[in-house]
Amino acid sequence: MQLALHEARTAAAMGEVPIGAVIVWKDKESEEDRVVALAHNTRELQKNALGHAECSAIDMACRTLGGWRLHRATLYVTLEPCPMCAGAIVNARIARVVFGAKDIRAGAFGSVLDLNTYPLNHKPEIVSGVCEEECQSLMTEFFLSLRKKRTEKRSKRDF
């Protein structure tokens, strides 16, 4: 989760919503874990609605591993995945999702809805609340800073 937090901080520094994702692959023979993808939000930079950290990490992991089935993968992400990302997780057959903060506005693994309660062909194991305070703090600080900048900008225009 520390790598995902690092990615989230990178996103924040770029003006993106601070969400980071990491995919770890468990090797079949050695049982060792290796990082196969690191990503963060890029929606603003790329002007693309698909620029979520999870989708980018899934894309990178598929390219790295040479296949779309990520059945031995664990996805670490700082915020609970939205419906789009949860769907991508199910479609990629990711075995396990570990997330930090709940997303009370768009979370699709328990907060707003739970994709695992639907009769889909795959149900990832979900672990929530890992480094929750740190993940939530990053989000809170980012949006407070954004509001402050907007207020300052408005104040300057009023003069």
Catalytic, out of 54, 80, 125, 141 = 54
Decide if 54 is catalytic.
Answer: yes
DSSP per-residue letters across the chain: -HHHHHHHHHHHHTTS---EEEEEEE-TTT--EEEEEEEE--HHHHT-TT--HHHHHHHHHHHHHTSS--TTEEEEEEE---HHHHHHHHHTT-SEEEEEE--TTT-TBTTS-BGGGS--S---EEEE-TTHHHHHHHHHHHHHHHHHHHHHHHHHHT-
CA atoms within 13 A on the CB side of 1: 17
Catalytic residues: 54
